[in-house]
Amino acid sequence: MITPGGYVLSERTLTMIKLTQTKFKMKIKPIRNEADYQKALERIEVIFDAKKGTEEGDELEILAIVIDNYENENFPIECQTQFLPLILEWNKWA
């Protein structure tokens, strides 16, 4: 889907954003540029140790998906930070 700002977002990303805004009342927004990307990475650092099933744990998981989507669309695979696999692995052990 193309947003009013002209950005292409996957259906998965749009669904996760809508869910966070309605159900969890989180303030996760689409990552549209480098500044948004850096802000998202900074937030990940703050909540990285959040416990699974908590509000911050849910935010961490959803934010990781949004970051992963942005990286897949904007960076060659060798430049990705690969946050999503880290978060998924973390959830197995939490």
Query: For position 91, what pLDDT does the model report?
Result: 72
Every domain of the chain and the residues it spans: 11-93
Given this model, what pLDDT does residue 86 score? 73
Instruction: Mention every residue, 6+ apart, whose C-beta is less than 8 A from residue 51.
Output: 57, 94
The most distant pair of C-alpha atoms in the chain lies apart, rounded to whole Å, by: 40
Residue 94: per-residue pLDDT: 52
Which of 34, 32, 33, 56 is CA-nearest to residue 46? Answer: 56
Mean pLDDT by 10 residues, the chain (94 residues): 64 72 69 93 92 88 89 72 70 64
Q: How far apart are CA 69 and CA 76, in angstroms?
A: 12
